[in-house]
């Protein structure tokens, strides 16, 4: 292991150690104020059956060839319908389309900005070191990666990890809205300044956005630092911990567990 890699691993270990120590201290001093009881995922009625009439499907496709996905009834069929998207130039430069991963009936969605190099290579959001850190942050507030749904605003990687362009967001954000409509989460955790600013159509800083409950597609949403930013700046780990505790408390309140 190179010295740089070892240093990065040590930083992650230190962050998690701090998170666990802080959380334990809070529990000891203030009791179970964050209600860390796992809430069973609500059993929902099965989604309506897909439209299977081939005549009707073909008619719709002929009339709106790029918009048939709007009628998707399940996350799986929606994924299949948009995974070859070429609506913006990122479709030509991506390695893999990154739809999202997790529970199609999740009560929590985690939304970032766009795939990075690891995500582009693997076709899954939040993998690599930042993904591992996100998993551990979620675990610290008693969510497992597989019980939430994780995705990005853009489904394809911008070259050199540049910020998404407004026209790319315009093309891709309807997919995110459809994902939210199909999943219908109780709350959204948005990670990163760019994601927060993009979804809320604002130029307010992350410092101004975090700590408040916003609304996206009529779903309560909170914003915190991106795990990749935490890896770069350990000073943000404490505010991140405060944010995710607030998010857990919000989730508990919304789902009636307090
Ligand atoms: S970024 Fe979104 S709109 Fe652009 S090609 Fe990829 S899926 Fe399509």
CATH label of the domain that carries residue 216? 3.40.470.10
Q: Is 253 in the pocket of ligand 1 (CB under 6 A)?
A: no
Listed residue (179, 258, 168, 255) closest to 217, CA to CA: 179
- Is the per-residue pLDDT at 101 higher than 70? yes
Reported residue count of the chain is 258
218 is a domain residue: yes
pLDDT of residue 45: 41
Q: How many other C-beta atoms are found inside a 10 Å radius of the C-beta of residue 1? A: 8
Instruction: Using alpha carbons only, give the angle 249, 255, 258 rounded to the nearest 5 degrees.
Output: 55
Q: Read off the pLDDT of residues 117-166 as tens digits, 9 standing for 90 and up.
A: 999 999 999 999 999 999 999 999 999 999 999 999 999 999 999 999 99
pLDDT at 8: 57
Q: How many domains does the chain have?
A: 1
pLDDT at 31: 41
- Is 9 inside any structural domain? no
**How far, in Å, CA of 98 to CA of 74, rounded?**
17
3-state secondary structure of 149: strand
pLDDT tens, position by position, 25-56: 444 344 443 343 333 333 344 444 455 566 66
Range of the domain at 204: 83-254
Q: How far apart are the first and last CA of the chain?
A: 46
What's the pTM value of the predicted model, to 2 decimals? Answer: 0.80
Interhelix angle 237-254/128-140, rounded to 10 degrees, is 50
Is the residue at 161 inside a domain?
yes
Answer yes or no: is 185 within a domain: yes
% of the chain beyond a pLDDT of 70: 74
Q: Output the CA angle 219-238-198, nearest 5 degrees.
A: 35
Identify whether 12 is part of a domain. Answer: no
Judge whether 53 lies within some domain.
no
Residue to mutate, 156, 175, 176, ligand 1, most ligand atoms under 8 Å from C-beta: 156
- Could you tell me if residue 237 is inside a domain? yes
> Is 134 part of a structural domain of the chain?
yes
């Amino acid at each position: 292991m190179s010295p740089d890699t070892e240093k990065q691993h040590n930083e992650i270990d230190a962050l998690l150690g701090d998170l666990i120590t802080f959380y334990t201290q809070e529990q000891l001093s203030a009791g179970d104020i964050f209600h860390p009881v796992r809430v069973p995922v609500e059993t929902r009625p099965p989604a309506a059956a897909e439209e299977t009439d081939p005549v009707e499907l073909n008619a719709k496709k002929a009339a709106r060839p790029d918009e048939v996905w709007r009628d998707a009834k399940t996350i799986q069929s929606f994924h299949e319908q948009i995974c070859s998207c070429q609506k913006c130039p990122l479709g030509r430069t991506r390695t893999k389309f990154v739809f999202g991963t997790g529970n199609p009936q999740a009560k929590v969605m985690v939304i970032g900005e766009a795939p990075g190099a690891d995500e582009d290579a693997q076709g899954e959001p939040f993998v690599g070191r930042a993904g591992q850190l996100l998993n551990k942050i979620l675990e610290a507030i008693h969510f497992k990666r597989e019980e939430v749904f994780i995705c990005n605003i853009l489904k394809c990687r911008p070259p050199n990890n540049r910020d998404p362009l407004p026209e790319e967001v315009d093309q891709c954000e309807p997919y995110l809205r459809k994902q939210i409509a199909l999943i219908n989460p109780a709350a959204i955790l948005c990670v990163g300044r760019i994601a927060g600013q993009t979804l809320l159509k604002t130029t307010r800083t992350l410092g101004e956005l975090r700590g408040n409950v916003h609304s996206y597609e009529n779903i309560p949403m909170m914003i915190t630092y991106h795990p990749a930013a935490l890896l770069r700046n350990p000073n943000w780990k404490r505010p991140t911990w405060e944010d995710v505790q607030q998010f857990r408390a919000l989730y508990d309140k919304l789902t009636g567990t307090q």
